[in-house]
Amino acid sequence: MPHGLRRGCARRWHATVVALLLACPALTTAQGAAPRATDVPNAPPQNAPLLGAHTLLSHSEGEGVSPAVTAPIETQPAGSTFIVLNGGYAKNGNGPVDNYANRWKRVGSRVVFNGYGGAFDVTAYVAVAGKGGSGHSVRIDKSGYPEGEITVPFIEVRNAGVLKDMAQNYPAPALVMTSGEVTTTGPATLVAVWWGDGGVKTMTTRPDSGFQMIDSYLLLPDNSGVQCAVAYRQVASAGTYHVSWVGSPMQGAILWLFAFQAE
């Protein structure tokens, strides 16, 4: 091909590329600029539920007080659903009260820990479409034994108007324990909670299936406490989900799995 013809082809090719870039601004994003939500593949819907603020309160045995009050967290003024679990002495098994006057409903059954003569249990509560704001905290009145050990996770799920599904089970002692299944019909936030039942002070546990640990109480003091771990996973589509917990030493565990969706 003659040299002059190659130069003309190059000019025409350059003009074509410039026209394509002008027609598609997304291709001209400056280096280092954060991509827009519309530029991110498989971006979740704007109103999809998301993990919000969270905390975990623990009192060790003999050093507790009443009421048990969680650390304050910053929650949304509206549009969130909240989860609280009370794990500890059955005689302290009162429901939560928060400083935004939400209505708490117990979900699932009260589960008694094996091996302690019925002295310890776990219950779960949810406040759907609750109120929130700065300094949001939850209290449990320990009316039966104020000094007793207790563990209380407090979790916010934003943009969640429905507890779509929930599973609770209590597998026999094993190094791997699998939760029940939950089914969703769209984008959801899954929250999993593990309650080990062994008489041990130091343990490990970790979730699989894309769940991420957010809070835990796994290194107990000499005077003991109630083991607990909390994890979550965002799912973008309808499906049936579960989580397996891998840990050591071998023990049983009470397992909860919640699925929250937008209303």
For 84-104, what is each residue's pLDDT tens digit?
Answer: 999 999 999 999 999 999 999
d(CA 129, CA 104): 11
d(CA 185, CA 259): 10
* Residue 118, token pair as written in the block: 């019925």
d(CA 179, CA 240): 12
Residue 41 belongs to a domain? no
Does residue 27 register a pLDDT over 90? Answer: no
Residues 155-202 pLDDT 10s: 999 999 999 999 999 999 999 999 999 999 999 999 999 999 999 999
Q: How high is the pLDDT of residue 47?
A: 83
The single-letter code of the amino acid at 85 is L
Residue 185 belongs to a domain? yes
Range of the domain at 153: 50-261
Q: Are 249 and 198 in contact, with CB atoms under 8 Å apart?
A: yes
Q: How high is the pLDDT of residue 263?
A: 83
Beta strands per DSSP E along the chain? 50-59, 68-69, 80-89, 97-98, 105-112, 120-130, 138-140, 150-158, 162-169, 174-178, 182-184, 188-196, 204-207, 212-217, 228-235, 239-241, 244-251, 253-261
Number of compact structural domains in the chain? 1
* Residue 11, token pair as written in the block: 């000019």
Determine the average pLDDT of the residues in 140-163: 97
Q: How high is the pLDDT of residue 44?
A: 54
Cross-strand pairs, 89:
120
Residue 210 belongs to a domain? yes
Strand duo 212-217 + 150-158: pairing: unpaired
Q: Are 198 and 252 in contact, with CB atoms under 8 Å apart?
A: yes
Residue 28 belongs to a domain? no
Residue 63 belongs to a domain? yes
The three-state secondary structure class of 28 is: helix
Residue 16 belongs to a domain? no
Residue 17 belongs to a domain? no
Residue 182 belongs to a domain? yes
* Residue 85, CB-side half-sphere exposure with 13 Å CA sphere: 32
Enumerate residues 6+ apart whose C-beta is below 8 A from 42.
236
Better pLDDT: 46 or 165: 165
> Would you say the pTM of this structure is higher than 0.85?
no
Closest CA to 258 of 170, 176, 178, 193: 193
